[in-house]
Amino acid sequence: MDFYLNLINTIGIHTMLGLSAYLLLQTGQLSLAQAGFFAVGSYTAAILTVIFQWNIIPAVLAAMFLAGFLAFLVGFPALRVKGLTLVVATIAFSEFVRMFFYNLKWRVTRNGEEIGPDGTMGFAEIRYFSDNGWSNLEVTFFLWTFVIIVMGIVWWSDNSRSGAVLRAVGEDELAASSVGINLTVIKVSAMTAGGFIAGLSGGLYAHQVTSLDHHSFTVLLGTFAIAYPILGGLSNVFGTLVAVIFIQGLLVEGLRFLGDWRMILFGLLIVLAMNFKPLGLFDKHTIGIIKRVIRV
Partner 1 sequence: MLKIKSISKHFGGVKALNGLDLEVGEGDIFGIIGPNGSGKSTLINVICGIYRPTKGDVTFHGQTLSGKPTHQRLKTGIARTFQNIRLFPNLTVWQNLWVARNSVEDIKTESSFYRWFGKSIIVKKEIEEMLEFSNLENRADELASSLAFGEQRRLELARAVATKPRLLLLDEPAAGMNKDEIRDLDSRIRSLQLQGITIILIEHVMELVMGVTDRIAVLNFGSKIAEGNPQEIQKNEAVQEAYLGYSEDD
Partner 2 sequence: MKHLSKLMGASLLLIALSIPQSAIYAAPSLKVLGWGAKSGPLKSFGVNSEAALRSAVAEINSAGGVRMGDGSMAPMEVIGYEDSACKKDEAIAILRKTASTTDAIVGMGTTCSGVCQAMFGVLQKKVEDTSDSGVQMPILADTCIRPGLAKISEWSFRNVPNEITMYDELFKWLRTAYPNVKTFTGGSETDQGHSFITYTAIIVQMAVKHGFEWVGPAVPALGPKVKQGMKELQAAAKSQHWLMGDTNYTVQARKIKKQNADMILVASHPFSACGFMKEMKRQRIKPKLLVGLTSSASQETLNGCMSAAEGIIIPTGFAPITPEAKKANNIVSKAGGFLDLHSSAAWENAYLVKRAVERAAIMGRPDTLQQDRRNFRNALASISSQKGLIGPLTRDGSTGEAEKPYVYVQVVNGKWKVIHDPNS
Partner 3 sequence: MEDFLYEVVEITQTIWDGVLFGSTYALIGIGFTLIFGAMGKLNMAYAGAAIAGAYVGLAVSMFFDAPIILVFAVSALVSTLMGYIVYQTCFRFIPTHNHLAALMASVGGLFLIDEVIVLATRGSPMNFPALFEDAYFEIGPFGIRGDLIFVFFIGLVSTVVLLYVLFKTRLGMATRAVAQQDVAAQLCGINIHRTNSITFSIAGLLGGIAGAMTAAAVGVLSPVIILPLTIKGLIVTVIGGLGSIPGAIIAGLFVGGFENLFLYVRGIDERDMYVVALLFIFLVFRPNGLFSKTINRD
The residue ranges that bind partner 2 (CB under 8 A) are 1-4, 6-7, 10, 102, 113, 120-122, 124-127, 129-136, 208-211, 213-216, 238, 241-242, 245-246, 249-250, 252-257, 259-260, 262-263, 286, 290, 293-294
Closer residue to partner 1, CB minimum distance, 135 or 160: 160
Among 1, 271, 293, 294, binds partner 3 (CB under 8 A): 271
The Cα 61–Cα 45 span in angstroms is: 8
Q: Quick one: CA dihedral 256, 6, 154, 88, positive or negative? A: negative
CA–CA distance, 166 with 188 (Å, rounded to integer) = 11
**What values do phi and psi take at 212, rounded to 5?**
-115, 145
- 162 binding partner (options partner 3, partner 2, partner 1, none; Cβ < 5 to 8 Å by kind): partner 1
Is 235 exposed, middle or buried (CB count within 10 Å of its CB: 0-12, 13-18, 19+)? middle
CA dihedral sign, ordered 167, 88, 205, 68: negative
Q: How far is the CB of 261 from partner 2 (least distance, A)?
A: 9
In angstroms, what is the minimal distance from the CB of 194 to partner 2?
22
| List of residues contacting partner 1 (CB under 8 A) | 156-157, 160-162, 164-165, 167-168, 171-172, 174-183
Min dist. Cβ of residue 94 to partner 1 (A):
29
Strand blocks (E) in the chain: 108-110, 113-115
CB of 58 to partner 2, least distance (A): 21
Asked whether the CA dihedral 32, 35, 41, 47 is positive or negative, the reply is: negative
- Note every long-range contact of 80-88, with CB atoms under 8 Å and residues 24 or more positions apart, other chains counting: 82/28, 82/29, 83/30, 86/29, 86/30, 86/31, 87/30, 87/31, 87/32
Query: 32 by DSSP, 3-state: which?
Result: coil
Nearer to partner 2, 168 or 281 (CB): 281
Stretch that binds partner 3, among 4-12, 53-61, 134-142, 261-269 (CB under 8 A): 261-269
Binding site for partner 3 (CB under 8 A): 25, 30, 77, 80-81, 83-85, 87-89, 91-93, 95-96, 99, 102-103, 174, 218-220, 223, 226-227, 230-231, 260, 263-264, 266-271, 273-275, 278-279
